[in-house]
Amino acid sequence: MPVISKSSSQKYAPVHGAPDCATLATLRGNPDKGPSVVEIKLTPGCIIPWHWHSINESVVPLTGLLEISMQGEKPTIIVNGDYNYLPAKHIHMDKCTGSKPCSAIVSMDGIFDIHYVDKSGAEIPSEQAFAAEKLMSKSSAKPASRP
């Protein structure tokens, strides 16, 4: 069935399992039941800590500077018109860099889930991932201590 989704009528809601700085609108399908296409919005500075999904994701940014860090690789900033494919179970982190909000179209080939991991790759609860990210953000904002 054809779908036309007008941005003026999209309804955004928190992303289940993600930080409060991330919201999404479902454009097609239902991410809780199967394949879907969503638009995700991240506030400036929003970080979705290291995680993986059981599904494959395709990401096309619309606005802002979306930094994608993939395990074992240097972070990459993607912008409007770029494309990012994340295979299932590939550990990554997302960050909205710069002063403007980020938005992207995300296509998922199955039921959406999110599994947070620590530095060793072991799965951890979302609360622990969010707390660790806040600690890292605060420590990086402080000037380096003098020896």
Q: What is the pLDDT of residue 147?
A: 34
Is residue 125 included in any domain, yes or no? Answer: yes
When divided into structural domains, the chain yields a total of 1
Question: Per-residue pLDDT averaged across 44-71, rounded?
Answer: 97
Taking Cα atoms as reference points, which of 108, 75, 80 lies closest to residue 94? 75
Mean pLDDT for all residues in the chain: 90
CATH number of residue 53's parent domain: 2.60.120.10
Reported pTM: 0.86
Q: Write the CA distances from 68 to 29, 57, 63, 102, 106, integer angstroms.
A: 25, 13, 14, 12, 13
Is residue 51 included in any domain, yes or no? Answer: yes
Q: Band the pLDDT of 76: cuts 50, 70, 90.
A: very high
Q: What is the pLDDT of residues 124-140, one digit of tens each?
A: 999 999 987 765 554 44
**In the chain, % of residues over pLDDT 70:** 90
d(CA 121, CA 143): 29
**pLDDT at residue 144 above 70?**
no
Domain that holds residue 37: 12-132
d(CA 71, CA 86): 11
Is residue 25 included in any domain, yes or no? Answer: yes
**pLDDT at residue 142 above 50?**
no
Q: Return the H-helix or E-strand segment holding 134.
A: helix 126-141
**pLDDT at residue 145 above 60?**
no
Question: Per-residue pLDDT averaged across 77-86, rounded?
Answer: 96
Is residue 83 included in any domain, yes or no? Answer: yes
Is residue 42 included in any domain, yes or no? Answer: yes
Q: What is the pLDDT of residue 143?
A: 38
Q: What is the pLDDT of residues 41-55, one digit of tens each?
A: 999 999 999 999 999
